[in-house]
Structure 1
Amino acid sequence: MKPNAVPAALALCLLLLAVATASLPARAQDAAATAVLAEQVRSLALKSSQPAAGLRVEVEAGALDPRLKLAPCQQIEPYLPTGFKPWGRTRVGLRCLQGEKKWNVYLPITVRVYGRALVAASALPAGTVLTAADLREAEIDLAADPAAALTDPQEAIGRSLLRMVSAGEDLRQNLLRARQWFAAGETVQLVAVGPGFSVQSEGQAITPGLDGSPVRVRTESGRIVTGLPVGERRVELRL
């Protein structure tokens, strides 16, 4: 499951709720304004909760740098800085909109998103070719690692481990060797797919067919095309 599988609106809403109630120096915090902001965020979180059925989100706010000397502020606005996502270890911005002196600071936070995914049923050495018996499902923190967690057994079965994993460790894309559907030189089936049609032909693979990586194929007419391996000796061309 990829990070963006969790509705960003829900994660951001819960994140802002935690930030809105995070500890700030008393001189920089207005209780009434914080309560209003927290209620607004709660409402947004409730409206956004339906798409996230089955997922549990927790937000842990860190601490501001104790060396900061912030001026009194009557209205503090939390926001997500450009380029940052409400996923795993990240940070939010806090800016003073109404006060004697405007200020802008960053607060470290950790967003944990719990959901069902595949884990190792037992300790497995590097090089193990996974079978159904090696897998079980458990609740994990999907946001604990940038790599996508595996949720479908078919994504893992038949692939080998790049390193040893311990029992109960979650299985992610970066732990598995890419599946090779065919070798260079093999005859492959080309499937050209366009709006409302598909055309099949044969060709010879110039490069190995690794899952998720483009492959070059020489057609029967001698033309070289690039497509994506999608199965055993099968390449798809998007037109």
Structure 2
Amino acid sequence: MTLFRHPCKALRQAILIPILCGLMQFADAASVTRPEQLIDATRDFLEQEVANYLQRSQIQARHEIEVNRLDPRLRLASCDLPLQAKLESPMQPVGRTTVRVSCTGAAPWSVFVPSQVHLFREVVVARRPLARDKIIDEADVTLAERDVSSLNQGYFTAFDQVLGNKVSRSALPDQVLPPTYISAAEIIRKGDQVVISAKNSTINVRMPGEALTDGALGTQIRIKNQRSGRTIKARVIGPGQVEVAM
């Protein structure tokens, strides 16, 4: 026996089934926190953290925030409160960071979102090849924008931080000059004639001397007192000038 299926009923089923499936998918999406929501919460949080960091540090820089992709299969309960974000590491929002995004509602949870904050500043770089012990002048350096979040050895942002100093390691053109590449230049050389100052609150004595070692500003060097013939230690306070404490 052949069953007769009413065409109107079949049409209603054909229309209702996709609608029901769509409603079920919508309900499922509404009951979970999507990865996109976690990424948006992380990005919004880091934007504010970076703005606060730059303001506190009084740094002029531009930045870019990169949030790692999350597993699209991630399923977290829908949060009945606004998502909370906290910087897990490091202490400053620069470089590789981890943000803890949490729900503190009826069904609490936390998830860690890896991110990276790129901070771009103008830093001092070599304009041309620099040999070891070269005294740096204006023609040797320039400013160029770099991502300082990746400059683990440090950097300089102004010419006066390096001019007049010497290169302790050779550098290539366009290379960032970190502090480990720069040292104070000697302003007194072995054999130089110097003036020794010995003073306290009431007495100021000056006498001639001879440098027995090289010395940069602020360093202590060996000096021969030409009047007494004694060897003393004195601090370099300027070209041809040293000082001893009394």
CA distance in 1, matches of 2:93, 2:103: 21
Residue-by-residue CA offset, 1:36-95 (whole Å, 9 max, x unaligned): x9399669949x76986742122222345x599663252432212365212233333333
Match for 1:71: what amino acid? L
Residue in 1 that maps onto 2:165: 159
**Where do 1:191-210 residues align within 5 Å?**
none
Are 2:95 and 1:95 aligned?
A: no
Residue-by-residue CA offset, 1:97-156 (whole Å, 9 max, x unaligned): 235242242x33322222223211123334433222111222222333134422332322
TM-score by length of 1: 0.54
Match for 1:81: what amino acid? E
Are 2:125 and 1:115 aligned?
A: no
- Tell me: CA distance 1:103–1:151, structure 2 relative to 1, closer, same or farther (3 Å): closer
CA distance in 1, matches of 2:185, 2:44: 47
Match for 2:174: what amino acid? G
Gaps of 5+ in 1: 1-25, 218-225
TM-score by length of 2: 0.53
Contact 1:111 1:143 survives alignment (8 Å): yes
CA distance in 1, matches of 2:195, 2:74: 69
> Post-superposition shift, 1:188?
5.9
Percent identical across equivalent pairs? 17
Aligned length: 197
Contact 1:96 1:104 survives alignment (8 Å): no
CA distance in 2, matches of 1:28, 1:201: 78
**Where do 1:134-173 residues align within 5 Å?**
134-173=140-179
Larger radius of gyration: 2
Residue in 1 that maps onto 2:77: 72
Q: Determine helix, strand or coil for the equivalent of 1:38.
A: helix
Gaps of 5+ in 2: 1-31, 223-233
Residue-by-residue CA offset, 1:184-236 (whole Å, 9 max, x unaligned): 9x7665899xxxx9x9877999x986668x8699xxxxxxxx99x7754567x
Q: Determine helix, strand or coil for the equivalent of 1:143.
A: helix
Q: Determine helix, strand or coil for the equivalent of 1:139.
A: strand
- Tell me: CA distance 1:110–1:30, structure 2 relative to 1, closer, same or farther (3 Å): closer
